[in-house]
Structure 1
Amino acid sequence: MSTGSAENRIKWPSGWIVNGLSLTDSETRPMPSSTAEKSRKPSRLPIIIGALIILAGVIYTGGWYYLANQLESRVATNIAAFKQQGIDATCENARASGYPLRVGLDCSKVGWVDQAKNISITAGSFRSAAQVYDPLKIVSSVEGPAAVDVPGAPPLDVKWEHLATSVRLDKPLPKQLSIEGSNVMVNERGNVSNPVPLAVMQSGKLEFNTAQPQMDIALSFDKLKIADNIVLDRPLPELTGAADVQLANGFALLAKPEHDLSVLRGQTGTLRKVELSFEDGSGIAISGPFSVADDGRISGDFKVTMRNPEGVAKVMQGIFPEAGNTISTVVQAMAFVPKDASGAPTLPITVKNGKMSVGFIGIGRLPAL
C-alpha cells in the first residue's frame, strides 16, 4: 500500500504539512450547512398561535361578562316595570352564571304576586341557562316547595322532586314551551286536621308548540291520584293519561281574559289522541276533529276506543253510578263494533251542538264549555 494513499485517509491536525501542502483550519473543519443553521433558529409560529388564543379568550370573556351585566340589568328593569303594573315579581339575589359555555340567571327565591287578581305564588331557588351557541333556547329549574294562592281554591303548598321548564324564544311569542315535573304533591296549607294530600302525581309534562296562528298542546301524566270529592264531588281512581290537541287558531286564546274552558269558544281543532288509563290496564282513547260554538256547544266526529270495555264500565259506574244503565248499554254495544289493530273495539260517535249519538241512537249530551 502506498504512503500517499494512507496519508489521504488520515485527517491531519491543522498546521501540519503533508506532501508539501499546508493544512489550514478552514480546510480541515467541515463547512456548516444552511439547513442546520435554520433548524437552530427558534420558530415564532407557536408564539403567534398562543397569543391569538389568549386574545380570543380575553375577547370572549369580555363579551360574556358584558352579556351577563345586560341580563342582570334587564331583570331589574322588568321587575320595576311589573311593580308599576301592580305586580310584585321577585328574584332575590339575582346574578348571572354559567361561564364559560352558558349564560343564565340564578335567584335564591322567586315570587309573583298580583294583588288585583288575588294570585300569589312564591317558591325557592331558581336557575336558568342558555348555551352560548343556542341563546334562544332557555332551560330552567326551580326548587320547592311553593306557596300558591289563587281564587276559588284553598291556600296550597306544592312540593316536588324535580320541576323544570324549557322555552325557545321567538317573536311575538315563544315558539316552544315545556314544563315537566316528578313526584308532585299538593296539600292544603295549614290544614293539620287532614294530612291527606289533595293530589299526588308521579310525573307529568305539558308542551306548547306554536306556528301562528296554529297551536299544538300535548299533556301527559302518570299515576295521578286526586283526593276523593275534590272533582265533581266524587271519588276518582288513580289515572294515567295523555292528550295531543291541535288548535287551528290557538294564538287567539292568549288575548282572551277567561281562565276556564270557556276560552275555547269559537275554536276548531283536532284531537289527535286523548287517552285515559286506569290501574287495571283498561282505558279509553278519543280522536277526531271538533269545533266549539260561541255558546260553548261542542260538535265533532270522534272515534272512541276502549281497552277492556268491562274494566272501563266498572270504573265509570263507580264514578257515575246514576248513569249505570247507559254505561252498560254502551259497553254491550262495543261487542258489535269494529276493532282496531290491537283488537280493541272502536265506536264512532257524532256530536252536534252537544248531542251525542251513535248512528241514529242518542246516547247523551255534553255540557257547554
Structure 2
Amino acid sequence: MDSESRTMPSSTPKNTTRRGRLLKYGGGGIILLGVLYSGGWYYLANELENRVATNIAAFKEKGIDATCENATASGFPLRVGLDCTKVGWADPAKNLSVTAGTFRSAAQIYDPLQIVSRIDGPAAINVPGIMPLDAKWDNLTSSIRLDKPLPKQIEIEGSNVIVNQRNAAPGDAPVAVVQEGELHFATQDPQMDVVLSFNKLKIADNVIYDRPLPELTGVADVQLANGFALLGKPERDLTVLRGQSGTLRRVDVAFDDGSGIGISGPFSIADDGRVSGDFKVTMRNPEGVAKALQGIFPEAGNTIASVLQAMAFVPKDETGAPTLPITVKKGKMSVGFINIGRLPAL
C-alpha cells in the first residue's frame, strides 16, 4: 500500500497535463471549424447577392424590369436565403407587370436544392385583356425542389386571398375571393403532373360571361405524358395543349350544398385542337347540380330539367351517385351510340 500511494501522486500531473492539451487542441479545432464555416457561409451569402444583382442586370438588358429591393442574404448559421423589401417583374413588351411586398427565401445548408419562400402583399397586377388588379392575402408561400434543366417540384399555397379591381369604390365586391388555394407541379422528364385545388372560391357575378357564379370548391389533378414540351412553346392560351395526351386523374367541382360533378379518364388533343378521350362523369346530388346550373344558365332551364330526369335511369357508383361513361372522338361526344354534342376545338 505504501509503494502504490507513493507512485500515484507522481502520475497525476502527467494525466492532468495530457487532458489539458486535449481540451486545448479540441477547443482550438472547434473554433477553427467555426471560423471556416462562418467564412464559407458569408462567402456563399456574398455570391448569392452578387448572383441576384447579375441576373437583374441581365433581365434589364432584355427589356424586363426585375426588382428585388435591398437584396440581403440571411439565415446564418443553419440556412442561407435571400430577403427583399419589395419584388417586382415588368415586361413592357407584353404589357405585363406584377409587384408585391417583402420576399423571404431560405434553404437548409444540408439541403440547398430545397428552397422555401414567403411573399407578403399587397400586390399590383397588370395583365393584358383584363382590368388592373390589386391582391392581398394572409399567407402566400412556395417550395421549390431545384433540378436540371427545370425544377423537379414546385408547390404554391395561399390562404384568404382577395382580388380587387384597382381603384374600386369602397362598396364594390371583390373580383375574386378564395379561402385556400394550392398549386403543385411535379416533373419527371417528359412527364408532368399538375394539381390545382381551391376551397371556397367566389368570383364576382358578371365577371365571366356576364353570369352569376356560386361559391365553388374544386380540384384538378392532371398528368401530362409530355408536359415538358409545353415549356418551350410560345403560346399563352389553350392552344399550347395541342399535341398533348394524358390522364384526368381527378377533376371535381363542388357547390356549397355538397353537390358536384367529377370527371376522370385518359385524353388526347390533336394538332387541330380536337379532343378525344374516354371519360367517366359522376354527378353527386343531381338535384343540387341542376339548381346551381339553372342559376348560371337560366335560358337552358328546360334542357337541364330534362337531363335531371334522365339521370334517374343512369347507372350508379358505389356511393349511389349517377355515373356516365362518355366517349369523345375528335370532339364528338357520345354515350354509347347516342350523340350528345360536340366539344369546341382548343
Pairwise TM-score range, normalised by the shorter structure? over 0.9
Which residue identity is paired with 1:220?
S
| 1:91 paired residue number | 68
**What is the number of residues matched between the two proteins?**
341
Choose which of 124, 128, 151 in structure 2 pairs with 1:174. Answer: 151
Correspondence 1:224 to 2:211: no
| 2:214 paired residue number | 237
Correspondence 1:301 to 2:278: yes
- Root-mean-square deviation (CA, aligned residues, Å) is 1.5
| 1:330 paired residue number | 307
| 1:104 paired residue number | 81
Does the Cα contact within 8 Å between 1:326 and 1:363 map onto a contact in 2? no
Q: Quote the offset at 1:30 in angstroms.
A: 6.5
| 1:11 paired residue number | none
SS of corresponding position for 1:57? helix
| 1:4 paired residue number | none
Q: Deviations over 1:26-48 (max 9, x none)?
A: xxx87744344323432132222
Choose which of 126, 138, 144 in structure 1 pairs with 2:103. Answer: 126
SS of corresponding position for 1:56? helix
Instruction: Tell me the TM-score normalized by structure 2.
Output: 0.95
Q: Deviations over 1:161-202 (max 9, x none)?
A: 101111111111111111110000000101227621000000
* Cα distance between partner residues in 2 of 1:150 and 1:309: 37
Q: How does 1:125-164 map to 2 (within 5 A)?
A: 125-164=102-141
Which residue identity is paired with 2:166?
R
Which residue identity is paired with 2:83?
D
Q: Quote the offset at 1:333 in angstroms.
A: 2.9
Q: Quote the offset at 1:362 in angstroms.
A: 1.8
Mean CA deviation greater in 344-353 or 334-343: 334-343
SS of corresponding position for 1:246? strand
* Cα distance between partner residues in 1 of 2:51 and 2:345: 44
| 1:354 paired residue number | 331
Correspondence 1:55 to 2:32: yes
Correspondence 1:208 to 2:181: no
Which residue identity is paired with 1:203?
E
Q: 1:293 to 1:48 in 2, by over 3 A?
A: same
Correspondence 1:34 to 2:36: no
* Cα distance between partner residues in 1 of 2:6 and 2:152: 69
SS of corresponding position for 2:73? strand
Which residue identity is paired with 1:39?
T
* Cα distance between partner residues in 2 of 1:313 and 1:289: 26
Does the Cα contact within 8 Å between 1:69 and 1:96 map onto a contact in 2? yes
Mean CA deviation greater in 79-88 or 354-363: 354-363
| 2:175 paired residue number | 198
Q: Deviations over 1:89-137 (max 9, x none)?
A: 0100001000001000000000101011001111101000000010001
Q: Percent of aligned positions with the same letter in both sequences?
A: 72
Mean CA deviation greater in 247-256 or 324-333: 324-333
Correspondence 1:68 to 2:45: yes
Which residue identity is paired with 1:363?
I
| 1:15 paired residue number | none
Q: 1:46 to 1:346 in 2, by over 3 A?
A: same
* Cα distance between partner residues in 2 of 1:227 and 1:326: 26
